[in-house]
Amino acid sequence: MSYTAHTLLRSALLLGTAILLTACGKEKMPNRDYIPQLRSQLNNLQIAVQERDRARIDSMLSVQILDIKENSDSLLSFVYGPSGDFAFTHFGDAEIFYTDDKARIDAYIMDSTDSRNRPVTFTLIREHGMWLLKRFEPRTDSVKAVTQP
């Protein structure tokens, strides 16, 4: 093999190795198409809660939520309060954090005054191509930490 051919082959191998090492060191970014899907799922949940539609809410729940003894009735009680008289209008100021198979949505349970005194965290998982609610809980932290869902 000539000196020029050997040099070209060596350069190509070094370049290929550098590209491979660079590609392996990067984390895979989650699909950006999930953002509108997650927003849509939150909107659908909001509508179901506004209409107090238990069947529709149940269709958005992961079976894993049953492991923590939650269901559509507990979500409605959580949103409307034990007496059922909270004047819920929407989930406001939603922030979405996600990976390829998990998501966390931090929002507020709001009434017509748009007060932000009822923070909530929704945890969703991606199952069979759909985003399903795995957990909901009050958010008690005063400073939102950006963590993995």
- Looking up residue 111, the CATH number of its domain turns out to be 3.10.450.100
Q: Is residue 20 part of a domain?
A: no
The number of CA neighbours under 13 Å toward the Cβ of 91 is 27
How far apart, in whole angstroms, are the C-alpha atoms of residue 17 and residue 9? 12
- pLDDT, tens digit (0-9, with 9 covering 90-100), for 45-57: 999 999 999 999 9
The more confident residue out of 147 and 71 is: 71
Given the DSSP bridges, would you call strands 102-110 and 90-98 parallel, antiparallel or unpaired? antiparallel
Q: Is residue 17 part of a domain?
A: no
Q: Give residue 63's domain range.
A: 30-138
Q: Is residue 118 part of a domain?
A: yes
The number of folded domains in the chain is 1
Question: pLDDT class for 8, splitting at 50, 70, 90?
Answer: low
Whether residue 11 has pLDDT greater than 50: yes
Q: Is residue 70 part of a domain?
A: yes
pTM score of the predicted model: 0.76
Q: Is residue 95 part of a domain?
A: yes
Residues in the chain: 149
The tokens of 29 are what?
Answer: 């970014």
Q: Is residue 10 part of a domain?
A: no
Q: Is residue 65 part of a domain?
A: yes
Longest Cα–Cα distance in the chain? 87
Task: Find the mean pLDDT for residues 133-141.
Answer: 90
